[in-house]
C-alpha cells in the first residue's frame, strides 16, 4: 500500500477502506460461505497502522479508540501469528492503530487491517515471501483480505479470494455511516438467493469508462436484508440522490452508504445536505 514510512525501528502504513460498486450473491456453499461476484474500489479513508519492535516475541496491539478486540478475534493478531508460523519467525512487534474506518459499516476495516499487517511486516521484518503465499494466509483470515493485499480496484469472485484487476476511472464518493453496526453473518443468513445466469450477473463489468457508467450498474443483493434491519440505509440513499449523487448504494453488508460524484466540489456540496444522517466522509478512489 502507498505512503509507507519506514526506518529500522518503525514502520507506518496506510490501511484503506473499500466500497462495493456491485455485489451479487450467486450461491451458498456447503461450508456455509457464499459465492459472490463483486466490483471493489479502494478509497482514501484510512486507518493508520504503526509497527515497532517489541522485546522477545511479544505481540502488543493497541488502538486510539480502545475498540479492537483481543487475541484471535483481532484480525491483525491472527495475521501476525500466521505470518510468523509460515515463515518460522520468532519476533515480537508492537502495533498501534489510529482508527478512522467505521466498525461494522461494510467498509472492510478488519480485513484491510489484516492485509496491512501482512504487507507491513513483510517490509518491517524483511521477509522473502511470494504474493500467493500472502493471499493464502489472507483468505484464512477473511474473504476480503486478499483484495486488500492486492491493493487495487478488482473484481472478486468465489468467496472473495479470486481476484482480477479492473480499470476504473477516478470516483469521488460521499460516505455516510449511520452509526449503526450490522452483523455480516446476520445479513448473509437472512439472504434469500435468487438464482440467475452468471453471465447476466457480471454484465458489462469491464465497461467503466466514465463515472456515469457506474450509475446503471450499482447493485448490492445484501440491501434486501440490511435495509429492514436498518431502515436509515434507505433514507440515506434517497437523500444522497436528492443531493446530486449519480448513484448511491450500501457498501458490503452495511450499514454505510456511498454516493458517486463526478468531482470533489459536487461531493462537498452534497455532503452539506447529508448532515445529521451519520458520520460523513468525502473520499476518492485510491490508484
Interval 16-28 mean pLDDT: 95
Give Cα separations from 201 to 11, 222, 233 (angstroms).
Answer: 41, 14, 23
| 151 and 89 together in one domain | yes
* Contact between residue 68 and residue 117 where contact means Cβ atoms under 8 Å apart: no
Task: Determine which one of 18, 139, 232, 237 is catalytic.
Answer: 18
pLDDT of the residue at 201: 47
| 135 and 185 together in one domain | no
Q: Which of 164, 197, 230 is the last residue of a domain?
A: 164
Cell numbers at 249, concatenated? 448504494
Q: Which of 122, 140, 164 is the last residue of a domain?
A: 164
User: pTM score, two decimals?
Assistant: 0.93
Task: Determine which one of 144, 232, 237, 266 is catalytic.
Answer: 144
The residue segments making up the domain with residue 177 are 168-284
Q: Can you give the CATH number for the domain in which 180 is found?
A: 3.30.70.890
| 27 and 61 together in one domain | yes
Confidence of residue 2 (pLDDT cuts 50, 70, 90): very low
Q: Which of 149, 164, 179 is the last residue of a domain?
A: 164
- In SS3 terms, 261-274 reads as ECCHHHHHHHHHCC
| 12 and 128 together in one domain | yes
Considering the chain, what percentage of its residues have pLDDT values greater than 70? 92
* Contact between residue 2 and residue 23 where contact means Cβ atoms under 8 Å apart: no
62 is annotated as an active-site residue: no
Q: How many domains does the chain have?
A: 2
| 190 and 151 together in one domain | no
287 is annotated as an active-site residue: no
| 192 and 101 together in one domain | no
Amino acid at each position: 500500500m502507498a505512503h509507507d514510512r519506514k526506518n529500522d525501528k518503525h514502520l507506518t502504513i496506510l490501511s484503506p477502506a473499500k466500497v462495493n460498486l456491485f455485489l451479487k450473491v450467486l450461491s451458498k456453499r456447503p461450508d456455509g460461505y457464499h459465492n459472490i461476484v463483486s466490483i471493489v474500489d479502494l478509497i482514501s479513508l484510512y486507518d493508520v497502522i504503526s509497527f515497532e519492535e517489541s522485546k522477545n516475541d511479544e505481540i502488543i496491539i493497541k488502538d486510539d479508540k480502545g475498540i479492537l478486540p483481543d487475541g484471535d478475534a483481532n484480525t491483525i493478531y491472527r495475521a501476525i501469528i500466521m505470518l510468523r508460523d509460515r515463515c518460522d519467525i520468532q519476533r515480537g512487534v508492537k502495533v498501534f492503530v489510529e482508527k478512522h474506518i467505521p466498525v461494522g459499516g461494510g467498509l472492510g476495516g478488519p480485513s484491510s487491517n489484516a492485509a496491512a499487517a501482512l504487507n507491513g511486516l513483510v517490509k518491517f521484518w524483511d521477509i522473502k515471501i511470494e504474493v500467493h503465499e500472502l493471499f493464502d494466509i489472507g483468505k484464512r483470515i477473511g474473504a476480503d483480505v486478499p483484495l486488500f493485499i492486492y491493493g487495487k480496484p478488482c473484481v472478486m469472485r468465489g468467496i472473495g479470494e479470486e481476484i482480477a484487476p479492473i480499470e476504473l476511472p477516478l470516483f469521488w464518493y460521499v460516505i455516510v455511516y449511520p452509526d449503526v453496526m450490522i452483523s455480516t453473518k446476520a445479513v448473509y443468513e437472512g439472504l434469500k438467493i435468487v438464482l440467475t445466469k452468471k453471465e447476466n450477473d457480471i454484465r458489462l463489468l469491464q465497461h467503466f469508462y466514465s463515472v456515469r457508467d457506474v450509475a446503471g450498474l450499482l447493485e448490492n443483493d445484501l440491501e434486501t436484508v440490511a435495509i429492514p434491519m436498518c431502515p436509515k440505509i434507505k433514507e440515506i440513499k434517497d437523500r444522497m440522490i436528492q443531493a446530486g449523487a449519480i448513484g448511491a448504494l450500501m457498501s458490503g453488508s452495511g450499514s454505510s452508504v456511498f454516493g458517486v460524484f463526478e468531482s470533489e466540489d459536487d461531493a462537498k456540496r452534497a455532503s452539506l445536505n447529508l448532515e445529521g444522517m451519520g458520520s460523513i466522509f468525502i473520499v476518492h478512489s485510491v490508484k
